[in-house]
Amino acid sequence: MLLLGMYVVLFPPLFVLGPLAGLLVASRPATLREWAWIAAAGLWLLVTLGQPGGLAAQMMQAWALFITAAFVVVMLPGRRKLVPGALLATVFGFGAATAWAWLLGSRWQDIQLAVAHTGWEFCRQLLAQSNLGADGLETARTYVDAIADGVGVMAELFPGVLVLAALPGLALAWTWYHRLSGNPSGEPGEGFAEFRFTDHLVWLVVVSVAAFVLPLPPEVAGVVGNVALVASGLYAARGIAVAWRTLQPLPRALLAILMIGVLIVLPVALGGFFALGLADTWVDFRRRFQVADARGS
């Protein structure tokens, strides 16, 4: 419940409530609990979709709806596991959203420009509403300028950010679907400590590194940047899963202290987790842990 609440607050609720409602409806709900969750998710989605928004918000909503449809179609037959199904649904959703934007006469460059405009407008309003003195206003201007400098990067990496935001939402939706549905399809998702994906995705890292070395047109460089962001996020998450699998036996108080320490040095920690996740492609640490546990017992 805590993870679901945190996700809804920090990320677009469409990415978790849409798939959850779609899965429950497609599974022929028969209990009051299922219908209550469907009604709550549907009401929240109607309120969210009914709010006015620019091109960036429309693209995010369309992406969420396409991903929802793809995830339900991919997962309901029960033949795919969660991680491959979520990755496949995200790819289908990306393609469908891109085609939808083209049909409306928009390109990703237009959407990224809309994201940048929204971010800069937010910075302008934040500075305009600051009721501070001269010294305070100068300090606020420094922080706002730092935020504004990141707006361009965020706009450039908007597709990759949406992919990384959608994947945990799909995982949460699948987990809650198995908790709520009276007749769920497929297998429940494994714990985060077992998170892994096909080793063939290592080629995304290889291609990204090679592309950064070679001189590329700006359009191609933007695509490579988003691919690199997605690959980095996936392998960092894999590294965190390996570390979590290792540290699970520790007392919770010590785990809490370690998590606070990781948050303090988060940029450095993410680089370490990425390296650990990438190394897991060849070493498979968790299989070695299982072998060691079996020998110890």
pLDDT tens-digit series, residues 19-37? 999 999 988 888 899 999 8
In a domain, 166, yes or no: no
pLDDT in tens, 243-261: 988 888 888 888 888 888 8
Structure tokens at 230: 């997605």
In a domain, 252, yes or no: yes
What pTM does this model have?
A: 0.86
Taking residues 122-127, report their average pLDDT: 70
In a domain, 264, yes or no: yes
> Is residue 52 over pLDDT 90?
no
The mean pLDDT value of the chain amounts to: 84
Buried b (16+ CB within 10 A) or exposed e, 128-162: eeeeeeeeeeeeeeeebeeebeebeeebbbbbbbb
> Is residue 94 over pLDDT 60?
yes
> Is residue 238 over pLDDT 90?
yes
How much is the pLDDT for 47? Answer: 80
Taking residues 88-117, report their average pLDDT: 86
> Is residue 154 over pLDDT 60?
yes
Q: Which residues have a Cβ under 8 Å from the Cβ of 56 and sit 6 or more positions away?
A: 111, 114, 115, 118, 158
In a domain, 230, yes or no: yes
> Is residue 291 over pLDDT 70?
no
How much is the pLDDT for 66? Answer: 92
Answer positive or negative: Cα dihedral of 51, 54, 57, 63. positive
In a domain, 290, yes or no: yes
The angle that helices 218-247 and 202-213 make with each other, rounded to 10 degrees, is: 140
In a domain, 217, yes or no: yes
- Name the domain count of the chain: 1
Taking residues 77-94, report their average pLDDT: 89
Q: pLDDT band for position 2 (50/70/90)?
A: confident
**Residue % of the chain over a pLDDT of 90:** 26
How much is the pLDDT for 129? Answer: 66
H or E stretch at 75: helix 55-75
In a domain, 157, yes or no: no
> Is residue 149 over pLDDT 80?
no
Q: pLDDT band for position 135 (50/70/90)?
A: low
How much is the pLDDT for 136? Answer: 58
Range of the domain at 288: 210-297
Taking residues 133-152, report their average pLDDT: 67
Q: pLDDT band for position 100 (50/70/90)?
A: confident
Structure tokens at 101: 């934007």
> Is residue 138 over pLDDT 60?
yes
pLDDT in tens, 177-235: 999 988 888 888 888 888 999 889 999 998 888 888 887 777 778 888 899 999 999 99
How much is the pLDDT for 264? Answer: 86
Taking residues 73-80, report their average pLDDT: 87
Question: What phi-psi label fits residue 199: left (phi over 0), alpha (psi between -120 and 50 degrees) or beta?
Answer: alpha
Taking residues 92-121, report their average pLDDT: 84
In a domain, 110, yes or no: no
